[in-house]
Each structure stands twice: as C-alpha cells, then as structure tokens.
C-alpha cells in the first residue's frame, strides 16, 4: 500500500495523472486491503488454534505425569507380589520338608 501511495504521489508531482490511473490505483488499494483483512483473520484464527494447542499440551503433560505415577505404583506392586510369591514358595517347601521329616 505504501508503495502504491508513493507511486501516486510521484506521478502527481511529475505529471498529470492519466485518465483512469487513480481509479486503477484505488482498485488495487481496495484489493490489497481485502487481502490484508483475510490475512488478519487467518492470523487471528491461527492464534486461537495455537492457544488451544497450548491448552491441549498442558492436558497431555498432566496425563503423562499421571501415567508415570501409575507405572511407578504398578512396579512397586509387582515387586511386592514377587516377594510374596517367593516367600509363599519357600513356606511351601518348608512345609513339605516338615511333612516328610
């Protein structure tokens, strides 16, 4: 837009404008303004999408933390169960030895 206005100003200083030249420049300015408005709308939409993505990333991060906590608890439970199974087998062995003895 600035370039078009500069060209218009230069052409006015140098010579009389050609018939229809100002109309063409005005049409071009209107077209550029429309393009600019579309780009601004797109930028606003992208800003909203970016904000939503940030919110979703926070939700994903929280879920990841929850999953990690659950995995830690499952590993602890697995260790406790493995220990209990080992102790139960040892008791069965000692009971069997006692019966034989």
Could you read off the pLDDT of 65-75 as tens digits, one per residue?
999 999 999 99
Report d(CA 28, CA 17) in Å as an integer: 16
Confidence of residue 35 (pLDDT cuts 50, 70, 90): very high
Q: Provide CB contacts within 8 A for 1, sequence distance 6+.
A: 29, 32, 33, 36
Residue 83 has pLDDT above 90, yes or no: yes
Rounded to two decimals, the pTM is: 0.56
Mean local confidence (pLDDT), 42-49: 97
Q: Which residues of 57-95 are buried (b: 16+ CB within 10 A; e: fewer)?
A: eeeeeeeeeeeeeeeeeeeeeeeeeeeeeeeeeeeeeee
Query: Closest Cα partner for 86 from 74, 78, 96?
Result: 78
């Amino acid at each position: 837009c600035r370039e078009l206005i500069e060209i218009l100003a230069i052409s006015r200083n140098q010579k009389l404008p050609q018939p229809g030249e100002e109309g063409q420049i005005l049409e071009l300015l209107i077209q550029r303004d429309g393009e600019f408005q579309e780009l601004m709308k797109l930028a606003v939409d992208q800003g909203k999408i970016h904000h939503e993505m940030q919110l979703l990333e926070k939700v994903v991060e929280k879920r990841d933390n929850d999953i990690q906590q659950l995995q830690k608890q499952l590993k602890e439970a697995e260790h406790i169960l493995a220990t209990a199974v080992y102790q139960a087998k040892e008791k069965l062995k000692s009971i069997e030895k006692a019966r034989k003895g």
